[in-house]
Amino acid sequence: MGDRLEIGIIHGSRWGAGLKCCSYLKEKFSSLGHDVKVTSVSETDPKTYTLPDILIISTPVYMSFSRMKVRRAAKAIAARGGGRAFAVLQTGGTEKIQRDRISLIMERQGWKRTAPTIKVLVS
């Protein structure tokens, strides 16, 4: 068996898209022999959460409350340490400003953005 790999997701109102993305990544990494665990960061107290190997931030579209929730969680996680990989998950028509704000928060804390925005279409 390969290394243990933890994928964390910060999600707001579009948890379905985040779950779809995490399921895809879990399947891919598992096929490479990794032991994969997927955790919802949004449903865990960020102060007690262990930092994941890969952090996916699912930017919500509709509710301003959810956007604030995601941004607060991103700040709390980012402040715990840098050097890990993260990606921003775009669901549908998410505003570019929101993605850029979250990316800036993470990069200031030393996290590395691994790739352009991951786009997941949810029907």
List pLDDT tens digits, range 27-73. Answer: 877 887 878 887 776 666 656 666 677 777 765 544 455 566 666 66
> Among residues 50, 55, 49, 43, which one has the least CA distance to residue 9?
55
Note the Cα 104 to chain centre separation in Å. Answer: 14
What predicted TM-score, i.e. pTM, was given to this entire model?
Answer: 0.54
| Residue 35 CB neighbours (<10 A) | 12
Average pLDDT over residues 20-28: 74
Position with higher pLDDT, 68 vs 107: 107
The answer to whether 57 touches 13, Cβ cutoff 8 Å, is: no
**Predicted confidence (pLDDT) at residue 96 exceeds the cutoff of 50:** yes
| Pairing relationship of beta strands 85-91 and 54-59 according to DSSP bridges | parallel
**Class at the top of the CATH hierarchy for domain 4-120:** alpha beta
